[in-house]
Amino acid sequence: MNKFTNANKAFHHLHARILKFGVDFDNTKALFNVGFEIDNPLDNQIANTHYIRRNWKQDYAEAEWQWYLSGDRNVHKLEDLYGKVPEIWRHMADEDGNVNSNYGWQWERGDQLDYVIDMLKHTPNTRRAAISIYDAKEMHTYYKDTPCTYAVQFTILNNKLNMCVTMRSNDLWYGFCNDQYCFSKLQLLVADKLSMEVGIYYHFAHNLHLYNDIIEKKNG
């Protein structure tokens, strides 16, 4: 498994890997069954290089995180926080403005997050501290917006909180950059509740990809 010190190094390494080894798959270049770890998940900034100008915006990623924390899955809440709604969220929203991929709304259902924190407090060696995001019982509602993340699992090891995110699909350019920021914030939130340090962030994606239009735009 690849190991990276921070999210920025992970992003640029994986970007190069997709361009070199990615296969053509549904308007993307894709790698399959990719797993890696980030040793310092709170070092979560994505920076430009001479070759790749992602122009990542931390203020937007923070607004998305605050939207998740609100538990409100309506895109108009994101608009309140950021001043506008990115086109991708408008495209994914239903006629009422609701989305399935607000992960905070997902982990609040059934009080999953509180349950996991309580479990970790009382049973530190548990293997059951997992939050389900993708709900098979609701697959019929996923016609516009299917959550990319299956689950998030926490493990305490050496008095540090490790976290593992498992995804069915992960767009590296937009999805990973903002997802890792929000998930690292979640890892810190839970660690703070447990009065311990943040450990390693593990990330598994069945399909990790770059869309062809992004590749063409950057190479054009």
Q: Domain for residue 152, yes or no? A: yes
Residue 217 has pLDDT above 90, yes or no: no
Q: Decide if 189 is inside a domain.
A: yes
Range of the domain at 175: 2-44+113-219
Compute φ and ψ for 54, nearest 5 degrees.
-75, -30
Residue 92 has pLDDT above 60, yes or no: yes
Model confidence at 220: pLDDT above 60: no
- Domain-located, residue 208: yes
Q: Is residue 149 assigned to a domain?
A: yes
Residue-level pLDDT at 188: 98
- The answer as to whether 97 is a domain residue is no
Q: Is residue 9 part of a domain?
A: yes
Please state, rounded to an integer, the average pLDDT across all residues of the chain. 96
Q: What is the CATH number of the domain that holds 134?
A: 3.30.572.10
Band (pLDDT 50/70/90 cuts) for residue 218 is low
Q: Which of these, 46, 71, 40, 34, lies nearest to 165 by C-alpha position? A: 34
pLDDT surpassing 90 at residue 179: yes
Contacts within 8 Å (CB) and 24+ apart, 25-31: 25/207, 25/209, 27/211, 27/212, 27/213, 28/171, 28/209, 28/210, 28/211, 28/212, 29/209, 29/210, 29/212, 29/215, 30/207, 30/208, 30/209, 31/207, 31/208, 31/209
Q: Which of 148, 164, 177, 182 is catalytic?
A: 148
Amino acid at position 81, single letter: L
Is residue 95 in some structural domain? no
Q: DSSP assignment of 139-170, as one string?
A: GGGTTS---SEEEEEEEEETTEEEEEEEES-E
Q: Is 62 a member of any domain?
A: no
pLDDT in tens, 48-78: 999 999 999 999 999 999 999 999 999 999 9
Q: Which residue carries 């389900």 as its tokens?
A: 132
Residue 177 a catalytic site member: no
pLDDT digits (tens, 9 = 90+) for 108-164: 999 999 999 999 999 999 999 999 999 888 888 888 899 999 999 999 999 999 999
pLDDT category at 219 given cuts 50, 70, 90 is low
What Cα–Cα distance (Å) separates residue 192 from each residue in 158, 185, 198, 211? 16, 10, 8, 36
Average pLDDT of span 184-203: 98
The tally of domains found in the chain comes to 1
The percent of residues in the chain predicted with pLDDT above 90, rounded, is 93
